[in-house]
Amino acid sequence: MALALLGCGPAKRPPPPPPDVGVVTLEPAQAVLTAQLPGRTDPYATSDVRPQVSGILKSILFTEGGLVHAGQPLYQIDPAPYRAAYDSAKAALANAEANLTSTRLKAERFRALLQQNAVAKQDYDDAEAAYKQGLANVEQQKANLESARINLGYTRVTAPITGRIGRSLFTQGALVIANQTNSLATIQTLDPIYVDMDQSSAELLRLEQESAAGTLSRKTPSATRVTLQLEDGTPYAHDGTLQFSEVTVDPTTGAVVLRAEFPNPEGLLLPGMYVRATIIEGIANNAILAPQRGVGRNEKGEPTALVVDGRGIARLRVLKAPRAVGSDWLVAAGLQAGDKLIVDGLQKVQPDQPVRAVPAGSQSTSSR
């Protein structure tokens, strides 16, 4: 009876089949590495307008905040004293030229008389010296006239560069002094405009080392292309060009300044605005890119991933993934080409357990 009872006991259930997991096979690829850096806008050129002669401002010839062009009149200083000085210098030159004619003719006559022994040698020398003094006086008066003409021209203050001009710091009737400390107004060239960005010196050093090792190519046609995001997060419509990198490191921040140039035809960018610039650091050769949905974190915060080995067993890998590239992680260590990375069905998998690998996104992984 006991044997009969044992023979009629419940049947042993077979083990459940291994779960289906979606995998992607990792292949080496070229990855464009970018960095987003904070920056500030700076004018392409700045010029403080200052008077070069002293006098009373008679008129202001521009609209505050408007666009001015190089050579455009901005202020008019009272020209009366400078016009009088110009006229005086002009008359002094005419007088010197008249005296020169007289001394020249006298020197020529004495030269002829000296050849006939009709005049003393000393008299001829005096006449010749007077003629040369007359020549020097004419040249001096010409220089005085040119100086007076320049000062008269300086009474009309013109724009040294093309750009947007700010408010006038002096009003009509004010006394201005030549080369004074306070400027009359400031002009800034805003199209194009500069963006100065800060990049960590440690990051620059790492990029140089990777470039020297051949894992990163920095000499690419797009290496100088820069895109921009405004303060509110909206993208700027025009791409810029990376101009240069500063040659010194700021000791207070440990950063190096990079400068990019952007077109600004609409005048949207103003000096001092905070922006975020995206630069292309280089092209990573034979990069291993792991989809972010297939990478997790362990209790130490290290990135981890599950791969399916040749026996169909899920194996846990600890990764070194220094940066994201789009929707992927750039893996420096822990994964290699040909690995089958689990990206679907991770909640059903335990490390070192058998699984059935199917292509990611297939019907079987979504239904089981």
pLDDT tens digits for range 143-162: 999 999 999 999 999 999 99
Candidates 27, 335, 33; CA nearest to 206 is: 33
- In the structure, what pLDDT confidence band is assigned to residue 219 with cuts at 50, 70 and 90? low
Candidates 9, 24, 16; CA nearest to 342 is: 24
Whether 76 shows a pLDDT value over 90: the answer reads yes
pLDDT for residue 214: 62
Q: Which of 32-41, 111-120, 202-211, 284-293 has the lowest mean pLDDT?
A: 202-211
220-224, 323-327, 338-342: which is most confident? 338-342
29-38, 73-82, 205-214: which is most confident? 73-82
Q: What pLDDT, in 10s, does the model give residues 136-145?
A: 989 999 999 9
CB–CB of 36/325 below 8 Å? no
31-35, 203-207, 276-280: which is most confident? 276-280
Q: What pLDDT, in 10s, does the model give residues 15-26?
A: 778 888 889 999
pLDDT for residue 44: 93
> What values do phi and psi take at 93, rounded to 5?
-65, -40
Q: b/e for 328-345, b at 16 or more Cβ within 10 A?
A: bbbbbebbeeebbbbbbb
Give me 247's structure tokens. Answer: 């040659």
- 113 or 301: which leads in pLDDT: 301
CB–CB of 78/55 below 8 Å? yes
Whether 110 shows a pLDDT value over 90: the answer reads no
Number of H helices, E strands in the chain: 5, 21
Give me 119's structure tokens. Answer: 């005049």
- In the structure, what pLDDT confidence band is assigned to residue 223 with cuts at 50, 70 and 90? low
- In the structure, what pLDDT confidence band is assigned to residue 40 with cuts at 50, 70 and 90? very high
Which class would CATH give 32-44+191-285? mainly beta
Residue written as tokens 């001092």? 272
10-19, 86-95, 245-254, 357-366: which is most confident? 86-95
pLDDT for residue 170: 94
State the pairing for strand pair 175-176/274-291. Answer: unpaired
Domain ranges of the chain: 20-29+287-367, 32-44+191-285, 51-78+155-182, 80-153
DSSP string spanning 257-325? EEEEEE--TT----TT-EEEEEEEEEEEEEEEEEEGGG-EE-TTS-EEEEEE-TTSBEEEEE-B--EEE
Given the candidates 3.30.70.270, 3.40.190.10, 2.40.420.20, 3.10.20.30, the CATH classification of the domain at 20-29+287-367 is 2.40.420.20
- Dist. CA 240–CA 258, nearest whole Å: 12
- Dist. CA 240–CA 233, nearest whole Å: 17
pLDDT for residue 181: 92
Fold of 80-153: Helix Hairpins (1.10.287)
CA triplet 318, 323, 326: central angle to 5 degrees? 115
Taking CA atoms, 278 is separated from 182, 188, 230, 232, 273, in Å, by 39, 25, 12, 15, 16
Q: Which of 210-224, 254-268, 343-357 has the lowest mean pLDDT?
A: 210-224
Task: Tell me what the pLDDT averaged over the chain comes to.
Answer: 86
3-7, 67-71, 103-107, 364-368: which is most confident? 67-71
pLDDT for residue 1: 53
H or E segment and range at residue 130: helix 121-154
- In the structure, what pLDDT confidence band is assigned to residue 222 with cuts at 50, 70 and 90? low
| Helix, strand, coil in percent for the chain, rounding step 5 | 25, 40, 35
What sign for the dihedral angle of Cα 307, 310, 312, 314?
negative
Partners of 196 in the β-ladder: 40, 259
Q: What pLDDT, in 10s, does the model give residues 81-107?
A: 999 999 999 999 999 988 888 888 887
CA triplet 355, 347, 23: central angle to 5 degrees? 50
Whether 244 shows a pLDDT value over 90: the answer reads no
Q: Which of 72-86, 113-127, 180-194, 271-285 has the lowest mean pLDDT?
A: 113-127
Note if the pTM is more than 0.75. Answer: no
**How would CATH label the architecture of 51-78+155-182?**
Beta Barrel (2.40)
Q: Which of 10-19, 146-155, 307-316, 340-349 has the lowest mean pLDDT?
A: 10-19
pLDDT for residue 195: 93
